[in-house]
Structure formats: structure tokens, C-alpha cells
Amino acid sequence: MRFDPATIASRDPQQMLALITRFPRMCEEAWSLGPAGVTVKSPQAVVAVGMGGSGIGGDLLRAVVFDEATVPVVSIKEYRAPAFAGPQTLVLACSYSGETEETLAAYDEAVQRDAACVVITSGGELLRRAQAHRHAAVVIPKGLPPRAALPYLFLPMLAVLGRIGVVRSFDAELREAVQVLQRVTAEHGPDRPDSPARRLAEALPGRIPVIYSAVPFLEPAAERWKDQFNENAKTFAVWNTFPELNHNETVGWGLDDALARLLHVIILRDAVEPPRLALRAAITRDLALSRAGGLDEVRAAGTGKLARLLSAVLIGDFVSWYLAVLRGVDPTPVAVIDELKKRLARG
């Protein structure tokens, strides 16, 4: 199939591709955003609250700071704040629209417990409540699908943690990440007839993507791939991570040959892989994954944490866009989610 401008315009009328290619620039812009009024000092825990495209930022945050944050950092995707949330907890409430009912409920619960709160939103009810409670807010650009606004939903949270001393400064890593993401965009975009993302997408029609992260650090990237296949390409996908999948899902590859051939495994590899995890991936390929209808590996780019994690995310965004075009579906609308929200609003 030709990915010429006319084809792209007809199959991507709302220009999701343009938003994907803006990812590096969004990262630069997002890093400069941030509230000045964060008063919490030395929190005992950090809780990121969000759903869907607004929730993946909390997962990325947890992965980046996991091995160096001075306090626990958790990502919550539900209506409630955890029981430990209180005056010494920093709650980062993230909702692109500001209208996500689960996030609003969790935020209200955190407020009742006198937690220190920062909200990340483009407006809506969440911003109004934050202003009423005099909580700091990061106000991000409007008019984007939440999943396309990921840099704005993730990076300000990391910047806040750096400012209050929970983690070190990531300024230098952000600069490297932007450069790496620019290269990823040039390598995987439709201007390159040999785009690796395009080649991978061309192998996926008629198959179910199974995305595995070779290391736990890339776990949120694997989940993001799954989410983007769901929302952009309107197709089913599953994800898991090493080493956990070796304790359960590996056995599931004993399924019938006909079913195994419907699965296409994508392993996300990191530049930094402990030898035991690399060995697990190799053995699992030999024992089980070779039964799949297809198997590919995608390697994260860069040196720093931000470059590696965000490059893995961005490659997946491109693959999902190519698959949407190949399937003849508009990557932007999410009609089922819209209908679900309408029915919820009716009670």
C-alpha cells in the first residue's frame, strides 16, 4: 500500500499522524510547564491518579523514578485514593479534559484527607475544583485527543518531583530524549519507504498483537502499545512483561496451533538489560514464542531513561497509526468510549 499524501489525507482526516510527529516538540513544551505553588516539602509518598490516556503518564512516572525516588511513587487508576493518602502525601491528579469521573472522585477523596495536590489538565471541572481549593495546577493545551497529549500529561509530573527533591533533575535527560525522538520520527515516519514501524504494521492485519517488555522498566511502554492498538487501530491486543510472564503466561503458549498462528509477538528490548532477563527472553522465544504467527523485536533508543522509555512509546504510536491506515479505519475517533460516557451520564 502507498502511504502518499492523498492516501494519508483520506484515511487520517483528523491528522493523528501530525500529532504523533509533534511528539518531540510536545516534550520540549511540556518540560517548561509546571506550577510554582507546590508547597509540600518532603512528602512521604507520591500518588499519580489518572485514567486511559491521562493515566499512562503515572505509569511512565513510576517506571522512571522506581530505582531512585526517595519515597514510594504509585500510579492509581480508579475512583479512590489509597488509604495512606494524607497530609504528607503528594497527589498528582491528571485528567486531560478535566471531566474524568474516576479522577475527580479520587481527587475529592484526597482533598478530604488534606493531601497536597497538583492537577494536570486542560480545564474542566478538575481545574475549577483545584482553583477553589487553591491547589497548584499545570494547565496544558486544549484540543487534543488525550492519548496524543502524553508528553503534557507525564513530563510536568516528573518536573514537579524534581523541584521538591523527590528525584534528581532530569533536564539533561530531557534534552537527549528530544534529540532521540526527533531521530525516531525521521526513521519511522511515512516519508521513509523503509520505515521499520511500517514494515511491522504490514505484518499485523489479521493477527492479534502480543506486546512483551523484556524488562519491567519498559512495562508502561508495552501497555501504551496495547492501548494505541486499541484506540488508533481499533483492534484487540494484549501485553505483559518479563520476568512475571514466565510464571504464568508462558504456559498459555500451549494453546492450539491454529490459535497460536493468530498471535504476533512484539518484544520491546532495552539498551540496559540485566543478563538474567535477557536470558529469560531468549529461552522463552525458544520454548514458546516461536509458535506465534509472527515475532518481532523493537529496541528502545538512546542512553538516558527518558530517551529509552519515550522512544519505545513513540515507535508504538507510529506502528498503531500505520495499522489503522492499513485497516482502513480513522485513527482518531473512539466512538465506543464516547457512547459509554453518554450512557454513564444518563445513569
227-284 residue pLDDT tens: 999 999 999 999 999 999 999 999 999 999 999 999 999 999 999 999 999 999 999 9
The upper half-sphere exposure of residue 256, i.e. CA atoms within 13 Å in the direction of its Cβ, equals 2
Known catalytic residue at 341: yes
- Indicate whether 86 belongs to any domain: yes
Instruction: For residue 218, give the CATH number of its domain.
Output: 3.40.50.10490
pLDDT tens string 316-343: 999 999 999 999 999 999 999 999 999 9
- Indicate whether 288 belongs to any domain: yes
**Quick one: pLDDT at residue 169?**
95
Co-location of 43 and 161 in the same domain: yes
Q: Taking the complete model, does pTM exceed 0.75, yes or no?
A: yes
- Indicate whether 174 belongs to any domain: no
Which of 77, 101, 125, 341 is flagged as catalytic? 341
Co-location of 159 and 192 in the same domain: no
Determine the Cα–Cα distance for residues 44 and 97; give it in Å rounded to an integer: 29
Co-location of 164 and 125 in the same domain: yes
| pLDDT above 90: residue 37 | no
Which of 219, 226, 231, 234 is flagged as catalytic? 231
Co-location of 311 and 244 in the same domain: yes
- Indicate whether 339 belongs to any domain: no
Determine the Cα–Cα distance for residues 243 and 146; give it in Å rounded to an integer: 30
Co-location of 163 and 259 in the same domain: no
Co-location of 142 and 239 in the same domain: no
- Indicate whether 340 belongs to any domain: no
Co-location of 56 and 135 in the same domain: yes
Give the length of the chain. Answer: 347
Residue 243 preceded by cis peptide, ω within 30: yes
Known catalytic residue at 247: yes
Q: Domain residues for 248? A: 187-327
As for how many domains the chain has, the answer is: 2
Find out whether 152 and 141 touch, Cβ atoms under 8 Å. yes
Dihedral over Cα of 238, 242, 247, 253: its sign: positive
- Indicate whether 261 belongs to any domain: yes
Co-location of 40 and 126 in the same domain: yes
Output the CA–CA distances (angstroms, integers) from residue 229 to 3, 22, 61, 111, 322, in the order listed.
19, 19, 22, 35, 10
- Residue at a domain's end among 136, 169, 202: 169
Please count the helices (runs of H) and the strands (runs of E) in the chain: 15, 9
**Cell numbers representing residue 25 in the block:** 516538540
- Indicate whether 211 belongs to any domain: yes
Determine the Cα–Cα distance for residues 154 and 54; give it in Å rounded to an integer: 8
Residues 6+ apart with CB under 8 A from 186: 192
Co-location of 163 and 53 in the same domain: yes
Neighbours of 82 (CB within 10 A): 18
Co-location of 41 and 160 in the same domain: yes
Beta bridge mates, 241:
213
pLDDT tens string 91-112: 999 999 999 999 999 999 999 9
Q: How confident is the model at residue 42 (pLDDT cuts 50, 70, 90)?
A: confident
| pLDDT above 90: residue 4 | no
Co-location of 208 and 317 in the same domain: yes
Co-location of 134 and 47 in the same domain: yes
- Indicate whether 6 belongs to any domain: no
Beta bridge mates, 95:
121
**Cell numbers representing residue 81 in the block:** 485514593
